[in-house]
């Protein structure tokens, strides 16, 4: 039986890519495509599907097994309010949440399954495991720098993925990431402090997403890098994770939980 999937922010770049992936996936069926009530696509038929773009969240969620959200924080919370009522599991690929908002999402996950992923790429989430190992082997001796690049339209910086990478490294070192991270040291008149995790941000052109982590020793550098060639990798991971999440009990999940269960 196919998993019935709704897509929030369906008119966006990621929403469109997710729709294409759902449409072509043998185990998935698109059952709702949400857009703003004043959007030009509202009421139009979704390509290669027999449904129309809609702003009716309750109706769309009631007919879906799971919803995938790549929107903005305010859009995510509007969606989660309705998902709670319909008991619809939710994949959240939106980034830019603050600590309080993440706490609210975890509260929702006490009632429905919620998977929060700043990056749904299988490759990036595999990279987290490599970073854990590298941090344990090199982290105490190396200068660590996380360099991320995205398109000029992205509004949050550093990216959610870069922050998760920093958190992963700090956890492997048994440290608090907030105490180690720095984004301004390269603009100050001081040398680098031992142990800090530097964060470098690039916003330019239409870069889809690039992340590199440097472990710099005095005489050699180890680099772990991921480059998204297109948005397909994010949509592919999101749809696979959605099919899995639709069959899970209420709880707060990550892409690592999904990958471990594959």
Q: Which residues are part of the catalytic machinery? A: 150, 154
Element (H, E) at 4: strand 3-8
199 touches 207 (CB < 8 A) = no
Burial label for 177, CB within 10 Å (0-12, 13-18, 19+), is: middle
Task: Report d(CA 229, CA 165) in Å as an integer.
Answer: 20
What is the DSSP track for 6-66? Answer: EEESTTSHHHHHHHHHHHH-TTEEEEEEE--TT-TTTTSBPTTSS-BEE--HHHHHHT-SE
């Amino acid at each position: 039986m196919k998993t019935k999937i709704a897509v929030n922010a369906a008119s966006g770049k990621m929403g469109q890519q997710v729709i294409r992936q759902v449409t072509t996936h043998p185990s998935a069926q698109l059952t709702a495509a949400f857009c703003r009530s004043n959007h030009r696509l509202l009421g139009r038929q979704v390509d290669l599907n027999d449904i129309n773009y809609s702003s009716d969240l309750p109706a769309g969620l009631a007919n879906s097994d799971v919803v995938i959200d790549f929107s903005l924080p305010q859009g995510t919370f509007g969606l989660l309010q309705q998902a709670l009522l319909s008991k619809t599991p939710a994949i959240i690929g939106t980034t830019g949440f603050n600590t309080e908002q993440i706490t609210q999402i975890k509260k929702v996950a006490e009632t429905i399954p919620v998977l929060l992923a700043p990056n749904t790429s299988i490759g990036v989430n595999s990279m987290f495991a490599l970073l854990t190992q590298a941090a344990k082997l090199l982290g105490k001796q190396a200068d660590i720098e996380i360099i991320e690049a995205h398109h000029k339209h992205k509004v949050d910086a550093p990216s959610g993925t870069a922050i998760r990478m920093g958190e992963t490294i700090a956890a492997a070192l048994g440290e608090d990431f907030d105490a180690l991270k720095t984004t301004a040291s390269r603009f100050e008149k001081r040398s680098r402090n031992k142990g800090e995790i530097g964060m470098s941000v690039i916003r330019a052109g239409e870069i889809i997403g690039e992340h590199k982590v440097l472990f710099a020793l005095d005489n050699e550098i180890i680099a772990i890098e991921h480059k998204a060639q297109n948005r397909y990798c994010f949509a592919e991971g999101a749809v696979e994770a959605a099919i899995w999440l639709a069959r899970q009990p209420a709880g707060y999940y990550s892409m690592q939980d999904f990958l471990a269960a594959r």
